[in-house]
Structure 1
Amino acid sequence: MAKNKFHDGPGPSQRQLQVGETVRRTLAEVLARGDIHDPDLARMSVTVGEVRMSPDLKIATAYVMPLGGAGQEDLPALLARNKGELRRVVGKKLGLKFAPDLRFRLDTTFDQMDETRRLFSRGDVRRDLDE
């Protein structure tokens, strides 16, 4: 089986999943409370959908989306600009020897779900599914 971005190994370890969820909750709490001292970021309500950890736990990729979708193009850059402060907070919460490097990507899962719903509602697809 060829490796691709969806199937490249056995999947995340239990430790990766646990640390990723802790990072996700921590980021969500900090962003919801407005603890970051950036006026541009303070104006946004940010949803942290998922955090994926690298196998060595040194890189955390957070999938984020602004509530309502407004300003999504700017969000990864705004968060990256405040990465140092966010990383310090995450590091304290995790209690690991090293705080993971934070990377931010737009969460496109909602767009993918909408596209899937749209496809399933098409007449030709419904006909094929009913057969």
Structure 2
Amino acid sequence: MRAVPPDASEASPAAGVDPTPEQPWPTGHRFADRARARHAAVHELLAAGHSRRAIARRLRIGQNTVLKYADAPAPESLFHGQWQGRPSKLDPFKAHLDRRWAEGCTNAWQLWEEIKSQQGPAAADCPGRVP
């Protein structure tokens, strides 16, 4: 029988909480809610006396993932990496992309062409460009 991780709303504070240094992502963020739920499930099973290997089998996640969650004192300590406010090359175009997405244009290639035309001839020499 597979143990289901607890509901994310039980493992986290009320929705809409602003990010703080201790809690970089608010509830409702897909990664944050999943990490909080898995952390709670792993620690609940550890407290019940299950081995880390048994937890991995029960939750159908890798043993290294279980180790990561078991060793973390809080799920917020896992929140680090590429999604934390780093500048992006798309920052100057986010307003345009958000507007076009809201208009219903979800074709990435078309959006790329629009951005490229806004950048001028230097965009054609971009190393990431696919001919």
TM range (shorter): under 0.3
TM value normalised by structure 2 = 0.27
**Higher relative helix content:** 2
TM value normalised by structure 1 = 0.27
**Higher relative strand content:** 1
Larger radius of gyration: 2
More relative contact order in 1 or in 2 (CA 8 Å, sep 6+)?
1
